[in-house]
Amino acid sequence: MTIIDFASVIVAIAVVVAAVFLVTAVNNLNNTLAKLEETAAHLRSEGVAAFSELRQLVADADAELDKVDIVLDRADQATTAISETTRRTHEAVQDPVIRTLAVASGTGRVARKLLRGRKGQSDETITLPEVESGSRSEGRRGRRKS
């Protein structure tokens, strides 16, 4: 066998090995491509289902937000009504309470003056109308000055 024959055999073996390698590689690529197509189809079907569910969830959330918006509007109206009622109640009750406290304070002063008057005077009696009218006018004058 000559060198040319030997080189031809080595080249032929190399070509066969390269051809087997390429055929195996192409076969693996075909299998991988088939699996990719299956995965893409599966993802597409799952994606469509997920988007459909997502759309339904968004629609439900929008409906719930509308309900919450209505509740918040009503709560705002109730808060405003309660605030207005509180203000009016305060205005309606404040004046009578102040007058009652003023009468109680005046009555206390009259009682103190009566007690002082009885202790300071032995047999004289002080009539209630005179003392009461005097204390009221003094109480009013005293408030205006301060």
Helix 128-145, helix 3-120: angle, nearest 10: 140
In this structure, is residue 6 part of a structural domain?
no
Query: What does the DSSP 8-state code read for residue 4?
Result: H
pLDDT at 111 over 60: yes
- Tokens 């406290």 sit on residue: 101
The answer to whether the predicted template modeling score (pTM) of the entire model surpasses 0.75 is no
In this structure, is residue 7 part of a structural domain?
no
SS3 (DSSP) at 72: helix
Q: Supply the range of the domain harboring residue 102.
A: 13-145
In this structure, is residue 1 part of a structural domain?
no
In this structure, is residue 137 part of a structural domain?
yes
In this structure, is residue 8 part of a structural domain?
no
Integer Cα distance of 128 and 24 in angstroms: 127
In this structure, is residue 66 part of a structural domain?
yes
Q: What is the pLDDT at residue 51?
A: 92
pLDDT at 124 over 70: no
In this structure, is residue 5 part of a structural domain?
no
pLDDT digit string, tens, across residues 38-84: 999 999 999 999 999 999 999 999 999 999 999 999 999 999 999 99
| Cβ neighbour number for residue 135 with a 10 Å cutoff | 19
Q: Which residues contact 136 (CB under 8 A, 6 or more apart)?
A: 106
Domain count, the chain: 1
Structure tokens at 138: 């003094």
Q: What is the pLDDT at residue 141?
A: 45
In this structure, is residue 4 part of a structural domain?
no
Integer Cα distance of 33 and 28 in angstroms: 8
Q: What is the pLDDT at residue 38?
A: 95
